[in-house]
Structure 1
Amino acid sequence: MTAKFIKWGIAPIGWRNDDIPSIGKDNTLSHLLSDIVVAGFDGTEVGGFFPDATTLNKELRLRNLEIAGKWFSSFIIRDGIDQASKDFHEHCQYLRDVGAAVAVVSEQSYSIQALDDNIFTEKPIFNDSEWVTLAKGLNILGRIAAEYDLLLVFHHHLGTGVQTLAEIDRLMETTDANYVHLLYDTGHIFASDHTCMSLLTKHRDRIKHVHFKDIRQDVMAAAEAQGLSFRDAFLAGMFTVPGDGVIDFTEIYQFLNETKYHGWIVVEAEQDPALAHPLEYALIARKYIDNILLTNERR
Structure 2
Amino acid sequence: MIRIGANPICWSNDDKQDIGGDISLEQCLSEAKAIGIEGMELGHKFPREADALRPILAAHGLDLVGGWYSTFLIERDAEEELKQARAHIDLLKAFGCKVFIAAECTRTIHGTQSAPLSTRPVMSEVEWGRFTTRLTELADYLAREGLTLVYHHHMGTVIQTEAEVDRMMEATGPAVKLLLDTGHITWAGGDPARLARHYRDRIAHVHTKDVRPDVAKQAAAEDWSFLDSVLNGVYTVPGDGAIDYVAVFREIPDYSGWIVIEAEQDPVKAPPARYVKMGFDNLNRFIDAAGLKR
Instruction: Kindly provide the CA deviation profile for residues 127-172 of structure 1, in whole angstroms up to 9, marking residues without a partner as x.
Output: 1211111112112221232233111101111111111121111111
- Which range moves more in the overlay, 82-91 or 30-39? 82-91
1:237 to 233, 236, 241: 233
Give, in whole Å, the separation in 2 of the partners of 1:292 and 1:129: 42
Instruction: Kindly provide the CA deviation profile for residues 163-219 of structure 1, in whole angstroms up to 9, marking residues without a partner as x.
Output: 112111111111111x21110000010011242212111111111000011001111
* Mapping for residues 214-293 of structure 1, pairs under 5 Å: 214-256=210-252, 258=253, 260-293=254-287
Deviation, 1:58, is: 1.2
How much identity, in percent, do the aligned residues show? 38
Which residue does the alignment assign to 1:117? 115
Give, in whole Å, the separation in 1 of the partners of 2:286 and 2:169: 32
Which residue does the alignment assign to 1:77? 74
Which residue does the alignment assign to 1:149? 146
* Mapping for residues 108-187 of structure 1, pairs under 5 Å: 108-115=105-112, 116-119=114-117, 121-177=118-174, 179-187=175-183
Could you say what secondary structure the match of 1:251 adopts?
Answer: helix
Which residue does the alignment assign to 1:12? 8
Give, in whole Å, the separation in 1 of the partners of 2:142 and 2:275: 33
Does the 8 Å CA contact 1:220/1:238 hold for their aligned counterparts? Answer: yes
Give, in whole Å, the separation in 2 of the partners of 1:84 and 1:291: 40
- Which range moves more in the overlay, 43-52 or 136-145? 136-145
Equivalent position amino acid for 1:55 in 2? A
Could you say what secondary structure the match of 2:69 adopts?
Answer: strand
Deviation, 1:82, is: 4.1
Which residue does the alignment assign to 2:25? 29
Deviation, 1:274, is: 1.8
TM-score when scaled to structure 2?
0.93
Could you say what secondary structure the match of 1:193 adopts?
Answer: coil
Q: Specify every segment of 5 or more residues in structure 1 that has no aligned partner in the other structure, as ranges.
A: none
Which residue does the alignment assign to 2:198? 202
Give, in whole Å, the separation in 1 of the partners of 2:150 and 2:88: 14
Give, in whole Å, the separation in 1 of the partners of 2:285 and 2:99: 28
1:95 matches 2:89: no
Does the 8 Å CA contact 1:89/1:144 hold for their aligned counterparts? Answer: no
TM-score when scaled to structure 1?
0.92
- Which range moves more in the overlay, 77-86 or 47-56? 77-86
Give, in whole Å, the separation in 1 of the partners of 2:121 and 2:127: 12
Equivalent position amino acid for 2:115 in 1? D
Does the 8 Å CA contact 1:66/1:99 hold for their aligned counterparts? Answer: no
1:41 to 31, 34, 37: 37
Deviation, 1:79, is: 3.7
Deviation, 1:295, is: 5.2
Give, in whole Å, the separation in 1 of the partners of 2:148 and 2:79: 20
1:190 matches 2:186: yes
Could you say what secondary structure the match of 1:78 adopts?
Answer: coil
Deviation, 1:35, is: 0.8
Give, in whole Å, the separation in 1 of the partners of 2:206 and 2:73: 24
Does the 8 Å CA contact 1:209/1:263 hold for their aligned counterparts? Answer: yes
Give, in whole Å, the separation in 2 of the partners of 1:54 and 1:248: 41
Equivalent position amino acid for 1:57 in 2? R
Equivalent position amino acid for 1:290 in 2? N
Aligned residues: 290
| Gap change, CA 1:161 and 1:295, over 3 Å in 2 | closer
Could you say what secondary structure the match of 1:76 adopts?
Answer: coil
Deviating runs (4+, > 6 A) in structure 1?
none
Give, in whole Å, the separation in 2 of the partners of 1:147 and 1:14: 32
